[in-house]
C-alpha cells in the first residue's frame, strides 16, 4: 500500500475510533525556525475546555495575525491602528478575517472599523503528531524526522504508524519518546507497540536545521515561539481537516467508503490512488468521465464536531471594496 493510501486509511480509522471527537488533519507544518522543514503526516487535536466556542466562530482557519492583532471584542478600532505590520498585509488579514466571520466591520466617517465577533477561545488540548511509514524496510528520513519531533517538542505526543512487523532493532533506532503503532488498513485495527512519552511543550525546544559531516546546525526555539506555533498548527488543522484530495474525472473511479470515509478508489489499479500524482491522460487506464460529485465537506461535518459555516449569512465582503 502506498503511503498516501495508508495515510487516508489511518485518518478514517482515527475519525471512526477513539479520536472521533478530535480534529484530525494531515500534511501540516511541524517546525518553527525553518517553516516547511518538517511536515507532519497526521495531526490529531483533542478538544480543549472552550471547543464549542471555537466551533461557533467559523469553520475556516483563523489567521494568526488576526488573533494577535489589537482588534478586540469591545470598541471597534480603525483597522490600520490594530496591526503592527505593512498596511497591505494588514488589509489582507482584515479582509480574510471579515470574510470568515472572525471580524465584523462598521463604517464611520468614510473609514472602516473592525472588532472581533467573539473572544478567541482556549479551544484545543493535547496535540498528537503521527508519522506514517507503512514499510519500515524503506525508512527514508524517518529517524531524522522523529528526532526533530522529540527534540523540538512542538506536539504533546509523537507517534510512528506502520504496517510492518516491528522488531526490537526498529525500536532502538528511534527516540524513546516516540510511540509506535502497528496499523492494519484492511481491517482498521490498531495495535499499540509502544506508548508515547509526553513531550515538554511548555519548555524551549531544539530544532535541527541542517546536517553535515560531524556537525548539525540547530535553532533554540523559545517556549513562547512554540506556543504560537502550536496555535497555528491547531488552527490549520481545524480549518483544513484531512479530506484535501480530489477525485479523478475518469471512468475507473469508484466510490470506496471505508469506515464512513469516501476515498479515491481506482477500479483499474484496484486500490486507493492519489489523483494529483497518479491520474490523468498519462495513465493507461484513463477514460474521461464527469468529475464525481462527492461532498467531502458535508461528510466531514456529518461525522465530526466541525461545523462548516456556523455564522451563516454573517460572512462579509472584502475590505478592498471600501479602499
DSSP string, 202-247: TS-EEEEEEEETTEEEEEEE-HHHHHHHHHHHHHHHHHH-S-----
Of 178, 170, 176, 91, the closest CA to residue 129 belongs to 178
pTM of the prediction?
A: 0.91
pLDDT at 53: 97
Residue 14 in grid coordinates:
482515527
pLDDT at 208: 93
> Going by CATH, does the domain composed of 3-52+122-240 fall within 3.40.1000?
no
Residues with pLDDT less than 70, the chain? 255-256, 258, 312-323
pLDDT at 268: 92
pLDDT at 320: 39
Q: Report DSSP state, residue 304.
A: S
pLDDT at 240: 97
**Other CB atoms within 10 A of residue 294 CB:** 17
Amino acid at each position: 500500500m502506498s503511503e498516501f493510501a495508508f495515510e487516508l486509511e489511518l485518518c478514517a480509522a482515527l475519525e471512526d475510533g477513539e479520536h472521533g471527537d478530535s480534529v484530525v488533519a494531515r500534511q501540516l507544518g511541524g517546525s518553527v525556525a525553518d517553516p516547511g522543514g518538517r511536515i507532519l503526516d497526521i495531526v490529531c487535536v483533542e478538544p480543549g475546555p472552550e471547543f464549542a466556542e471555537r466551533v461557533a466562530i467559523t469553520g475556516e482557519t483563523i489567521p494568526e495575525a488576526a488573533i494577535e492583532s489589537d482588534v478586540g471584542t469591545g470598541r471597534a478600532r480603525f483597522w490600520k491602528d490594530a496591526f503592527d505590520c505593512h498596511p497591505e498585509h494588514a488589509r489582507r488579514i482584515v479582509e480574510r478575517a471579515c470574510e470568515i466571520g472572525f471580524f465584523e466591520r462598521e463604517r464611520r466617517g468614510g473609514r472602516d472599523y473592525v472588532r472581533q465577533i467573539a473572544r478567541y477561545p482556549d479551544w484545543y488540548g493535547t496535540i498528537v503528531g503521527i508519522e506514517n511509514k507503512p514499510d519500515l524496510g524503506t525508512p527514508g528520513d524517518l529517524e531524522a524526522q522523529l528526532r526533530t519531533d522529540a527534540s523540538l517538542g512542538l506536539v504533546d505526543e509523537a507517534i510512528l504508524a506502520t504496517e510492518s512487523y516491528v522488531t526490537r532493532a526498529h525500536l532502538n533506532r528511534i527516540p524513546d519518546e516516540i510511540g509506535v503503532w502497528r496499523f492494519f488498513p484492511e481491517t482498521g485495527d490498531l495495535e499499540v507497540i509502544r506508548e508515547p512519552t509526553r513531550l515538554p511543550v511548555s519548555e524551549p525546544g531544539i530544532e535541527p536545521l541542517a546536517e553535515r559531516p560531524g556537525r548539525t546546525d540547530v535553532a533554540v526555539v523559545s517556549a513562547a515561539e512554540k506556543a504560537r506555533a502550536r496555535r497555528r498548527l491547531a488552527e490549520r488543522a481545524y480549518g483544513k481537516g484531512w479530506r484535501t484530495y480530489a477525485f479523478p474525472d475518469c471512468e475507473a473511479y469508484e466510490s470506496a467508503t471505508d469506515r464512513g470515509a469516501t476515498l479515491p478508489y481506482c477500479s483499474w489499479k484496484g486500490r486507493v490512488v492519489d489523483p494529483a500524482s497518479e491520474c490523468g491522460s498519462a495513465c493507461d487506464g484513463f477514460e474521461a468521465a464527469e468529475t464525481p460529485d462527492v461532498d467531502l465537506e458535508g461528510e466531514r461535518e456529518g461525522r465530526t464536531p466541525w461545523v462548516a459555516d456556523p455564522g451563516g449569512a454573517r460572512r462579509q465582503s472584502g475590505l478592498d471594496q471600501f479602499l
